[in-house]
Amino acid sequence: MDVGGTSVRGAVVDRYGTVLDTARAPTPSGQAALEDAITAVVAGLAERHVVTAVGLAVAGFVSADRRSVMFAPHLAWRGAPVADRIAKRTGLPVVLEHDANAALVAEYRYGAARGAGVAVLVAIGTGIGGGLLLDGSVFRGAFGVAPELGHLCLVPGGRPCPCGKSGCWERYCSGTALSTTAVELLARHPGRSTVLAREAAGDSRAVTGRKVGAAARDGDPLALLAMAELATWLGEGLALISDIYDPEIVVIGGGVSESAPLFLDEARDHYKSVITGAGHRPLARIRTAQLGDDAGLVGAATLAAELE
């Protein structure tokens, strides 16, 4: 299962990482309703397949023992023993994992990070999700929270973040950031983009990251400028990641990675120029994710299979 702020997605995955079947439901707002929705999706899939274990990829802090959700900004759980509750409801063994860690498990097993001793995932979507695998095992720190990359402060006193801080990396390198940057650029250069200026005419919130990405892929000059800014901030963050984890591979995933051909080379160049000790150390390989939207589901299933 992939439990996000918008939808609860389920998939039946075989031992080779193949998705055999899927189901989904909208994410309800209360705890009980959320657990009902998950149980119903599992039950629906279990009617059509032999299901032996459940993995839940969750967009939130998962405890180090992988049994509880400590905090999830877009979900109702707060210090909730989710694994035991769902296990009781479904009669199946259940394991939780942070969604970015789960996605990286899938990329390590079947995708872009195969065999990397130290692998990092940067999932660029609405915000940034971070994952870290050491020799194939999820690193989650002493309390289950690491790596929390999206809220690293890259710009002290910078753009305010809903997390309560300001200047967080994801304010500058995400779908949301693409939107913010494009709106800022439109204010300065209104003639640079007829497409996005038209979108912004009624309400600037209509200039979503997705629309900026689409405009950039169509060659819109202002959208391409926004993409170039994102590339710079991605490069800054990658340098920071090399300083703290010194990884062999960094996988760039999330919805924004669909536009990777428009920003990845620039991000790599910036990364190489700002890394500490540039020229005196090997660089990480920066790759785009291969499993797309299914990575969280496949990773959660991979971890669930290890329970048996």
Q: Which is nearer to a second copy, 161 or 196 (CB)?
A: 161
CB of 263 to a second copy, least distance (A): 19
3-state secondary structure of 25: strand
Whole-number Å distance between alpha carbons of 179 and 188: 15
CA dist., res. 240 & res. 67, Å (int): 31
Name the minimum Å distance from CB 273 to a second copy: 10
Q: How far is the CB of 152 from a second copy (least distance, A)?
A: 6
CB of residue 119 to a second copy, shortest distance in Å: 9
Choice between 187 and 244, CB closer to a second copy: 244
Q: Which is nearer to a second copy, 76 or 195 (CB)?
A: 76
Task: Between 240 and 297, name the residue whose CB sits nearer to a second copy.
Answer: 240
Binding residues for a second copy, rule: CB under 8 A, are 61, 70-71, 78, 116-118, 134, 139-149, 151-156, 163-165, 236, 240, 242-248, 274, 276-278, 280-282, 284
Q: Which residue has the tokens 């409801």?
A: 89
Residue/partner pairs of 181-190 with CB below 8 Å, 24 or more apart = 181/212, 181/225, 181/226, 181/229, 181/230, 182/207, 182/212, 182/222, 182/223, 182/226, 183/207, 185/222, 185/225, 185/226, 186/222, 189/222
Q: 103 by DSSP, 3-state: which?
A: helix
Task: Decide whether 114 or 143 has the Cβ nearer to a second copy.
Answer: 143
Closest contact distance (angstroms) between CB of 82 and a second copy is 15
